[in-house]
Amino acid sequence: MPSVKITLLIVVSLGIFFVSLFLGPTLISPFSPDPIEKEILFSIRMPRVIIAFLIGIALGTSGAVLQGILRNPLADPYVLGISSGAAFTAALSLLSGFYILGKFTLPLSAFAGACTASIMVGIFGWKRGNLLPERLLLAGIGLGFLFYSAMMLLVSISTSEGMRRTVLWIFGDLSMADWSVIPYGLVFIASGLGISLLRAKALNALILGDEMAHSLGFSVQKERLLLFISVALMTGASVSLGGTIGFIGLIIPHMVRFFVGANSRYVIPVSALCGGGFLSISDLIGKTLLSPMEIPAGIITALIGSPYFLYLLRRRDVFQG
């Protein structure tokens, strides 16, 4: 893949970033904003666009990595139960009214849940000194159901208004975007992305199979564990920033493979950029379409993404085999 394409993609992403800033329920002129518009720009729109990009990057990358390490084209960041773990602890904190950490309570409890779920999935997926793809996948599905039903139990026995809040949160929602949570989200997502980019060759080798990866000089256990940790970091951080947003993690990597091939060294960065750009466009549409009402971005991603994906599927053979 020529670097021209990558450059083009970076330019387009930057373009989307600025378009999302100035377009919206109402157009803000970048040249002469009045004080209210300035406030809207800097304390409402900018953190929101940044968070949309961060979440999109995290989900696009995690999807690309997971489909590789689990050797399964249907894997997505939520299949490992990480999001259910996060949703459970988030619901716990919302419904119990536990609020000692102020506005960090929700993101931190969600992140704690994501970490707990990841560690549990890791333990169940571990056998004979190795993380086994099938075990990981099944453990993730099992734990996902467990956490999900625990959360539904909480919601159904709860009498607090936190219930509706919980449900909205599970749908994924970017309207809570706030500068204060960005630095910590950035740290986790950037380190996850960094690990994935550095280990892209190892990911390619793992896609060939464990024995081939060994023959090519990779420590299969170490590489899969590292990549799994990077996915857990990114997914956990993204869920805690904006709830669960579907579609991106599953479909974006497939779409990207259409255009740049399967080499993870391109699939990872391109999935990251496309995921980020796509989520911010979706959010832009979601908040503009029925303004002043808002439609959660996660619904828009699936509504525009799925038909396009089905169209590509008819045109070409995605899974190549």
Which token pair is 193?
């992305």
Which token pair is 225?
């564990």
Query: How many CB atoms are located within 10 Å of the residue 279 CB?
Result: 35
Residue 44 CB, nearest approach to other proteins (Å): 5
- Separation between Cα atoms, residue 17 and residue 49, nearest integer Å: 7
Applying CB under 8 A, does 261 fall inside the site for other proteins? yes
HSE-CB of 308 using CA atoms within 13 angstroms: 15
Applying CB under 8 A, does 186 fall inside the site for other proteins? no
Applying CB under 8 A, does 263 fall inside the site for other proteins? yes
Residues numbered 75 to 104 that lie near other proteins (CB under 8 A) are: 97, 99, 102-103
CA angle 43, 77, 311 (to 5 degrees): 90
- Separation between Cα atoms, residue 119 and residue 229, nearest integer Å: 9
Entry field: residues in the chain: 321
Strand, helix or coil at 131?
strand
Q: In sequence order, what are the residues at sequence separation of 6 or more whose Cβ sits closer than 8 angstroms to the Cβ of residue 191?
A: 230, 233
In the bound state with other proteins, the residue whose beta carbon lies nearer, of 190 and 285, is 285
Q: Is 73 exposed, middle or buried (0-12, 13-18, 19+ CB in 10 A)?
A: middle
User: Applying CB under 8 A, which of residues 185, 296, 298, 305 lies at the interface with other proteins?
Assistant: 296
User: Applying CB under 8 A, which of residues 191, 201, 259, 312 lies at the interface with other proteins?
Assistant: 201
User: Applying CB under 8 A, which of residues 31, 36, 127, 183 lies at the interface with other proteins?
Assistant: 36
- Separation between Cα atoms, residue 64 and residue 90, nearest integer Å: 26
User: Applying CB under 8 A, which of residues 262, 285, 303, 312 lies at the interface with other proteins?
Assistant: 262
- Of 43, 18, 44, give the one whose Cα is nearest residue 31: 18
How many residues line the site for other proteins (CB under 8 A)? Answer: 65
Query: How many CB atoms are located within 10 Å of the residue 225 CB?
Result: 16
- Separation between Cα atoms, residue 277 and residue 274, nearest integer Å: 5
* Stretch binding other proteins (CB under 8 A), from 41-49, 51-59, 132-140, 186-194: 41-49
Q: What is the contact mask toward other proteins in residues 209 to 248, using x (rule: CB under 8 A)?
A: xxxx-xxxxxx-----------------------------
Which token pair is 302?
């699936």
In the bound state with other proteins, the residue whose beta carbon lies nearer, of 119 and 289, is 289
Residue 259 CB, nearest approach to other proteins (Å): 13
Q: What is the contact mask toward other proteins in residues 266 to 295, using x (rule: CB under 8 A)?
A: ---------------------x--xxxxxx
Residues numbered 108 to 147 that lie near other proteins (CB under 8 A) are: none
Q: Which residues bind other proteins (CB under 8 A)?
A: 24-26, 35-36, 39-40, 43-45, 71, 97, 99, 102-103, 148, 152, 155-156, 159-161, 163-165, 167-171, 173, 175-176, 178, 180, 201, 204-205, 207-212, 214-219, 257, 261-263, 287, 290-296, 319-321
